[in-house]
């Protein structure tokens, strides 16, 4: 039985995913990290948790935060980021520029690939870098 909380795929298996498929998964991974981060910050109302989570998962915020980790990415990680950033998406939210949306998609693609490779410690390390003031 596959344990979907602890997936470990090979690079070849991950590379078989579409760029936007990796981003789709990475979007969820990133949001789970954001929600966990906010809950661990202390007591908040559900309304406040939701508002803060929404603010962290917008493309402009992701684009700003991903810049903190770009210098720290390995060659393989940077390749996944570029792969997502250069993906051709036909839709972008009105609240973001095309560049912000591309950078956010790159981040999500990277997080999707790291998750599928079972690199949760690295995911956590990169996420903490992003959340540092």
Q: Which of 15, 27, 52, 76 is catalytic?
A: 27
The DSSP string of the chain is ---TTS----HHHHHTS-HHHHHHHHHHHHHHHHHHHHHHT----HHHHHHHHHHHSSHHHHHHHHHHHGGG--HHHHHHHHHHHT---S---TTS-HHHHHHHHHHHHHHHHHHHTT-HHHHHHHHHHHH--
Is residue 27 among the annotated active site residues?
A: yes
| Residues with a known catalytic role | 27
């Amino acid at each position: 039985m596959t344990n979907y909380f602890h997936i470990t795929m090979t690079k070849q298996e991950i590379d078989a995913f579409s760029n936007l498929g990796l981003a789709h998964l990475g979007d969820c991974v990133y949001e789970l990290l954001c929600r966990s981060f906010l809950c661990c910050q202390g007591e908040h109302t559900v309304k406040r948790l939701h508002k803060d989570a929404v603010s962290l998962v917008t493309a402009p915020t992701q684009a700003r935060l991903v810049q903190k980790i770009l210098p720290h990415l390995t060659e393989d990680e940077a390749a996944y980021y570029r792969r997502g950033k250069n993906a051709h998406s036909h839709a972008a939210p009105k609240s973001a520029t095309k560049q912000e949306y591309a950078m956010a998609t790159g981040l999500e693609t990277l997080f999707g690939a790291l998750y599928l490779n079972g690199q949760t410690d690295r995911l956590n390390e990169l996420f903490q870098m992003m959340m540092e003031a």
